[in-house]
Amino acid sequence: MNRNKILKIVAGSLAGVALGGALIYFNFVEKDMKSEIAVGSQAPDFTVKTLKVVDGVFQEGGEDFVLSKQDKVVVVNFWATWCGPCKEELPHFSQFQADYADDVEMIVLTYENTAKWLNNNAEAAGWENFAFTFGYYNEQEMNVYAAYGFTGAWPSTVVIDTNGEIVALHTGKISYEQLESDVKPLIPEDSGTTSPGQKPDGDVTEQKNWWKENALGVTFLAVSAAALGAAIVVSAVSTANDKKKKAK
């Protein structure tokens, strides 16, 4: 194999690594940073089914939740039954809804009907008393989660003001205090909202997007490693060729 062919292979390998790095960046970092849905944009309207509680049992048939018909600040949280961090923050959200009932409407959404899970899972004991509304949507009809620009991050939370404008977007768990800092500026000072009650124990901190924090570094290391490997290969082949020429 002559040197030109080797250099072409090396160049192709580097180009492949660079392309892979670009895909990582634009799919996991840039896409997250420049989503069409952002703070200040109009919240996509949606209609979802809700669960009602009858004699302590979750049932289908709650009143449909239509975002555009709400006249309060709306907090939309996306969770899943398999998501531990999601379940950990729900008690905080319930307390928050109870404390700010006059000015806030909170709905907690999943992509499936969770009534059976809520009624039969020990983790959900007492959840029938939660103050917020449990809802669910059909991904084929409208994937509400995707409509708000989220991709693969649970839990995720959106705060929407009374004009239908997004004022906060969060990925990962958030605390009572964080949610309160987003919502309180949207509530009139003369609101009848009662003073916050006792918050559930446990510190809840917001999680970071690992790819967003590290993708550039990972890509740089990958490209550097590929370049070093290519240089070693070229040097080795060149040395071998020189030895062959001397042997002749």
The structural domains of the chain, with segments of one domain joined by +, span 3-34+213-247, 47-186
- pLDDT given for residue 211 in this prediction: 45
Give the H or E element holding residue 104: strand 104-110
Across the beta sheet with 156-160, what order do the strands follow?
A: 57-66, 47-54, 133-136, 104-110, 73-78, 156-160, 166-171
pLDDT value of residue 145: 96
Q: What is the pLDDT at residue 15?
A: 53
| Residue 149: predicted pLDDT | 94
The neighbouring-strand residues paired with 77 are 108, 157
Q: What pLDDT sits at residue 239?
A: 58
C-beta atoms surrounding 140 within 10 Å: 6
- Give the chain's residues under pLDDT 50: 22-23, 25-26, 28-35, 195, 198-213, 218, 220, 223
Task: Kindly state the helix (H) or strand (E) to which residue 107 belongs, with its residue range.
Answer: strand 104-110
Is residue 125 helix, strand or coil? coil
Cβ partners under 8 Å of residue 113, min gap 6:
49, 51, 60, 136
What H or E segment, with its residue span, contains residue 73? strand 73-78
pLDDT at position 137: 96
Determine the 3-state secondary structure of 162 from DSSP.
coil
What pLDDT sits at residue 248? 53
Alpha-carbon span 148 to 44, nearest angstrom: 7
CA quadruple 176, 181, 185, 186: dihedral sign: negative
Residue 78: which of 139, 8, 19 has the closest Cα? 139
Angle, CA of 177, 149 and 76, to the nearest 5°? 40
Please return the burial class of 158, using the count of CB atoms within 10 Å of its CB with bins 0-12, 13-18 and 19+.
buried
**The predicted structure's pLDDT at residue 86:** 97
How far is it, in rounded angstroms, from Cα 22 to Cα 94? Answer: 41
Average pLDDT over all residues of the chain? 79
Instruction: Record the pTM.
Output: 0.66
In the chain, what's the furthest Cα-to-Cα distance?
96
Fold of 47-186: Glutaredoxin (3.40.30)
Give the pLDDT confidence of 109-126 residue by residue, as tens digits.
999 999 999 999 999 999
